[in-house]
Structure 1
């Protein structure tokens, strides 16, 4: 028989000396295990998880349990004590190394409004009276819940835990914009300031990260101001951070800020942290700001630097992956996409609207045989540029191999496709070359591959008739020119 009054009295006496929620948890489980010989654990919520704050009587425990999982999660979710006498038959039981558990009692820790603020979990490997065990755990849980409430409630997520959580969000970002939004969220959360803006370059231009949803009016106003700044000013912000390193305001008024930051002051910025991100030529600067006048703690700036380093590592990874995907999808000589992307594109062909233009360089073999493959490559590069510039903005050009190109157009009439084909032959002549082009519109119920064969046949007809021209292929179903 468990001596309930003596256990509760001992726990209560020790809890009065606990100075934090963590201390209260440690005191409780240590005292409870000493009296019962059972495995005891106290878990408190941290965001969406129950974190094991203290445990005793087991070789190993799980550090984190999802708030709705396990017997502990069930007790926390329902706010009611859970008693399990056959752990092997309970689908929610989470084994923690103690073999032969005969009883598990999981009691919620409640605040003054009976809201769950944690869980006290006890497991016995010896036979005990179930009702008595439950009464003991519930009584001790009531003492622990009361003491944690008096100490201010469960501890908040610390900076290290926040940084790790946000690091996970940065790692899973699938695009640059998702990553920039995740970095801004992390900067606000870790710093306690109201706004965060990433100014990033890609080696060609500087831009301000603008998420779809803005967290507050101040950040919306700040981003609007920054989006209207000339690129030279944004570049100056980036170079200032990379030249001198991270910086932060001291909360002192009536001092002259750097000229480049004055538009931010006009937007209401009173506190500003600036942290360089990545290298100066391809990276940027993270600006974290607030309307309130504060002096950020230097340790907060250190956290921002770690966040910026992690954000850049993931941004660089995304850019590298994008480059590798582009290389995998593109012809390395001309930069045009090749067979794989072409096959993807023609799957969405619209009958009567999608035109395929089979383009072949005239006498390309003679160029290679006479002047060598290096000259042939130069011709391919020059011609691909000329053809691409002659196409409309929405038209697409692919290189399928050798000197064979295909343009994919969306047109309203076959004559529109022929007009574009004539522009392509003129573009080739402008650089001293000629091409033969066959044009086919994808017919109703016609596989696009068959339309491409018709375009090829029309192109070879042009070659037989002297090259340097374009021809519309007969329709697939009628055998007549559309």
Structure 2
């Protein structure tokens, strides 16, 4: 094998390259004439190595995460990898089942910084020593040509969208998701501002702001906030009625009523796309102070982003509903025994009071008027008791007509006063309740505290119901 000739052939092909990717493709094509190896060039784009040129194989990786595989290791370390037996290298990423050996060399810029890798894989016996030196010489020439042509290729807008879509899918909360959507819209569209308007029963509301809003974004949010929910609802309605659009705010052409707040904020270019369904969805507004020509590609990318954003938002809301259903009573909406057990396990002795609550005569209501009447009674009573409690107090339904309130107090008398307030709230609904009060003792289990509260409750039952009893300290 004449390695000097290989270097000359590849080197001779590089001056004709017009782009960095063209230089990589010419390198692979020229090199492939001298070896049956599977050849690929991967360049760093954003936070990944992207394959920009390769010979045929059953699998060529489009992108490789940093430090993944032999190629990632070489790029991260800047050190050539000569692997005579790929089965013995734990980092090897299988491309062909018959590959036995691999050489991967860093592609560097003239300053010596890695910008990618040149990778060769063989399935037949090969002398790796001369190939290692040849590959390094070719990689150096390729790196110099790439830099001369302007450097590694920029991340395309579709690649940006794919990267952001992955981030949206991983967002842990609705606020994180909405912030990520705004950042993605600005990055992919190359416009300077983006806001989300979410529909609601009162019209509309602004989505959570990003962590670093720009000046135009701040003005837009201020104008939309001042315009109010009804105006936001009209914007959402317009976007869903007419579909995605690219609007230019040219001088002498007044804005539609819906977009007047945006014009006051200084918007001259607006891409507006529907988010989710017309009933309950919203709108993604991406804007700029510059007057820019219509760009159908930008609109299409924003529609794709809005679709991914809504799918992710709907998934988060569904998970929240499932968590709520798993921890709350489906009839009254109150939390039930699972959360109650955790709450009383964290009770502070002497400062936390348990109020065991029982509805007087509930069985009679069910037997006389039916279970639907009983359900209506429980729902109304639950709302009345919740309204009588203070902020921070918690009410649970732990059985058919059995409730428990967990409250923080400074002394037992305060717990009794709150319990009496609950009995008064129940009377206003036309029903009466019996309440037993107990404060946890030091070292006492939550179950025993609740048992003492139940015992106090049944003292009230025996004494005629509709009252409060405090368990001895």
Q: Which TM-score band (shorter chain)?
A: over 0.9
Contact 2:7 2:134 in 1 (8 A): yes
Greater alpha carbon shift after TM alignment, 402-411 vs 17-26:
17-26
Q: Are residue 385 (structure 1) and residue 363 (structure 2) matched?
A: no
Change (3 A) 1:370 1:67: closer
Separation in structure 2 between the aligned mates of residue 450 and residue 28 of structure 1, nearest angstrom: 79
The equivalent of 2:348 in structure 1 is 350
The equivalent of 2:38 in structure 1 is 39
The equivalent of 1:416 in structure 2 is 414
Separation in structure 2 between the aligned mates of residue 116 and residue 251 of structure 1, nearest angstrom: 45
Q: CA deviation at 1:172?
A: 1.8
Contact 1:201 1:282 in 2 (8 A): yes
Greater alpha carbon shift after TM alignment, 258-267 vs 26-35:
258-267
Change (3 A) 1:386 1:59: closer
Please show how residues 251-270 of structure 1 align to structure 2 within 5 Å.
252-270=250-268
Separation in structure 2 between the aligned mates of residue 20 and residue 96 of structure 1, nearest angstrom: 27
Residue number among 447, 450, 453 corresponding to 2:448 in the alignment: 450
Q: CA deviation at 1:47?
A: 1.8
Structure 2 unaligned residues grouped into runs of 5+: none
Separation in structure 2 between the aligned mates of residue 335 and residue 178 of structure 1, nearest angstrom: 27
Contact 1:455 1:473 in 2 (8 A): yes
Please show how residues 399-410 of structure 1 align to structure 2 within 5 Å.
399-410=397-408
SS in 1 for 2:404: strand
Q: Are residue 242 (structure 1) and residue 246 (structure 2) matched?
A: no
Separation in structure 2 between the aligned mates of residue 128 and residue 259 of structure 1, nearest angstrom: 73
SS in 2 for 1:287: strand
The equivalent of 1:13 in structure 2 is 12
Greater alpha carbon shift after TM alignment, 464-473 vs 309-318:
309-318
Change (3 A) 1:377 1:67: closer
Please show how residues 92-131 of structure 1 align to structure 2 within 5 Å.
92-99=91-98, 101-102=100-101, 104-131=102-129
Separation in structure 2 between the aligned mates of residue 382 and residue 75 of structure 1, nearest angstrom: 68
Residue number among 171, 178, 181 corresponding to 1:180 in the alignment: 178
Contact 2:41 2:54 in 1 (8 A): yes
Q: CA deviation at 1:202?
A: 4.2
Contact 1:251 1:294 in 2 (8 A): no
Change (3 A) 1:202 1:234: closer
TM score, norm. by length of structure 1: 0.92
The equivalent of 1:231 in structure 2 is 229
SS in 1 for 2:438: strand
SS in 1 for 2:255: coil
Separation in structure 1 between the aligned mates of residue 443 and residue 216 of structure 2, nearest angstrom: 56
Q: CA deviation at 1:171?
A: 1.6
The equivalent of 1:70 in structure 2 is 69
Contact 2:179 2:210 in 1 (8 A): no
Change (3 A) 1:67 1:374: closer
Q: CA deviation at 1:81?
A: 2.5
Please show how residues 48-447 of structure 1 align to structure 2 within 5 Å.
48-56=47-55, 58-99=57-98, 101-102=100-101, 104-203=102-201, 206-211=204-209, 213-250=211-248, 252-447=250-445
Separation in structure 1 between the aligned mates of residue 97 and residue 427 of structure 2, nearest angstrom: 83
Greater alpha carbon shift after TM alignment, 120-129 vs 441-450:
120-129
Separation in structure 2 between the aligned mates of residue 439 and residue 336 of structure 1, nearest angstrom: 20
Structure 1 unaligned residues grouped into runs of 5+: 476-482
The equivalent of 1:479 in structure 2 is none
Q: Can you list the C-alpha shifts for 1:230-283, whole angstroms capped at 9, x where unaligned?
A: 112211211121122222233633321123333333333232211121123311
Q: CA deviation at 1:356?
A: 0.8
What is the aligned length?
473
Q: CA deviation at 1:160?
A: 2.4
Contact 1:438 1:459 in 2 (8 A): yes
TM score, norm. by length of structure 2: 0.94
SS in 2 for 1:41: strand
